[in-house]
Structure 1
C-alpha cells in the first residue's frame, strides 16, 4: 500500500525519524519544515496523505489545513503538542481526517497512516450519485434512504447528516461539522439539534438503537458512520 506522503514538521530530528519509518513502510516521502512550504508543496505535488504539525513557523498547521480544504480532499493527519480538546476539535472542524498528540510512537503513526490509506481506497464509490455503506443506501439526487432494502423516512436535517457521513465512512464528524451540513435546512439548529437527529436516525437504522453499531458515538469528538457490513 505505497503512497506519496508529505511530512510537514518543523522539528527536523522528528521529521527525519518519520521519513525513515515511512520509507521503511514503502512510501515515497517528502519533508518540509514550515507552513508556507507545506501549502505550496501540497498544491504543486498533491500527496496521497499529508502529516501536518499544528505548530509551525509561517503558517500554522491549522491554517494550512483550512487553505487546502478549499480545493483538496487530500488525507490529513494532524500532529499536535497540545492535549487540549479545543485544538483537536478545531482541527477536525477544518477537515483533518485523524490526529495524534505528541509525544507519540512513530510505529503508531505508521499504523494510522496505513489505516487512513486503507480507508480511502476502500471507500465506496458512488454509482449515479448513490452511496452504499454497509446495509445503507443513500440516493441524494432522489432524496431516498434504504436500510437492508427497506425504505427509511427521514427529515431533511436527518437526511443531510446521513448523506454527509455516508460520503466519508468511518471518518469522525464533530457536531459543528454536521451542523454546517444542516445550514439552510434547520435554521435554528444547534449542536443539541444534531444529537436529536442522531438519536432519531438510530431508531430508524440500528438493529438496537440502545447499542448503536452503525451510527457510532466517538466520545469527546462526535459521530461516525461505520463502514463495515453487517
Structure 2
C-alpha cells in the first residue's frame, strides 16, 4: 500500500520532529519545512495533505494558504496557538479545511488527518467525474454542465469559470485570478472579459433556474460559488 504523503509546515523544529515521528509510526510519509518560502518550493511534489502553522516569520500561514490554493487542491489542516473565533473563521474562509488549536494531542491530529484523507478518497472514487451543487451538475469527463437536467450552452471559457468556482467553493477569486487561471497571463484578452463572461453564465443559468443563486459577487474582492441553501 502506498503511503499517504503529508507536508508539515511549522517554524518550531521540535514540534515538527515530534509530529513527524508520530505520523510515520502510523505509516504516513512526512516532509517537514520551517518557513513559507521552503513550503512553496515543495509545491511541485505530490502531497495528499498539508499541516500548516499560522504564526511564522516572513510568509505567515494565512498568506501561505492563499498561495498554496493557487497551486494545489489538497486538504489543509491549520495548527495554531491562536484561539480567537475570528482567526478560525478567517483560516477556513481562505481555503483551510480544518483548524486545531495548540496544544493538541497527536492522537487528535492523526484522527483529523485520517478523516480528511478518507473524505478525499470517497470524493475521488464515488464522485470522480460528476460534481453537483444545488440543481447544477458538471460532467468533468464530457466538459458539460447541466441545470435541472438541461445542458447549458456554455462556451469553453464559461465552462472553465464555472468549474473553477465549483471546485473551490470556499475561495473568493478576484477577476485577476480568474483571468490568469482561465485565460492565462499571456492572453491578449482584456480583464473586463471576466465580468462579461460571468454575466453570460448567470443569464444562461437563469433561463433554466431563475430562483437559485450560483455565483456570488463580493464587491471589491471578486466572485465565489454561492453555497447558500446548499443541501448537506
For the aligned pair, the TM-score class normalised by the smaller chain equals: 0.5 to 0.7
Residue 144 of structure 1: aligned partner: 146
Describe the SS at the equivalent of 2:228: helix
**CA distance, structure 1, for counterparts of residue 66 and residue 165 of structure 2:** 20
Residue 14 of structure 1: aligned partner: 15
1:107 CA displacement: 0.6
TM-score, structure 1 normalization: 0.61
2:101 corresponds to 1:101: yes
The count of corresponding residues between Structure 1 and Structure 2 is 183
**CA distance, structure 2, for counterparts of residue 21 and residue 188 of structure 1:** 42
1:139 CA displacement: 3.4
Residue 23 of structure 1: aligned partner: 24
**CA distance, structure 2, for counterparts of residue 197 and residue 64 of structure 1:** 25
**CA distance, structure 1, for counterparts of residue 135 and residue 23 of structure 2:** 35
2:3 corresponds to 1:2: yes
Residue 39 of structure 2: aligned partner: 38
**CA distance, structure 1, for counterparts of residue 94 and residue 216 of structure 2:** 22
Residue 74 of structure 1: aligned partner: 74
Residue 65 of structure 1: aligned partner: 65
1:188 CA displacement: 8.3
Residue 198 of structure 1: aligned partner: 228
Structure 1: runs of 5 or more not aligned: 153-161, 202-214, 217-230
RMSD: 4.1
TM-score, structure 2 normalization: 0.61
> Which residues of 2 match residues 46-61 of structure 1 at below 5 A?
46-61=46-61
Contact 2:136 2:145 in 1 (8 A): no
Structure 2: runs of 5 or more not aligned: 151-161, 179-194, 203-214
**CA distance, structure 1, for counterparts of residue 68 and residue 40 of structure 2:** 7
Describe the SS at the equivalent of 1:138: strand
Residue 205 of structure 2: aligned partner: none
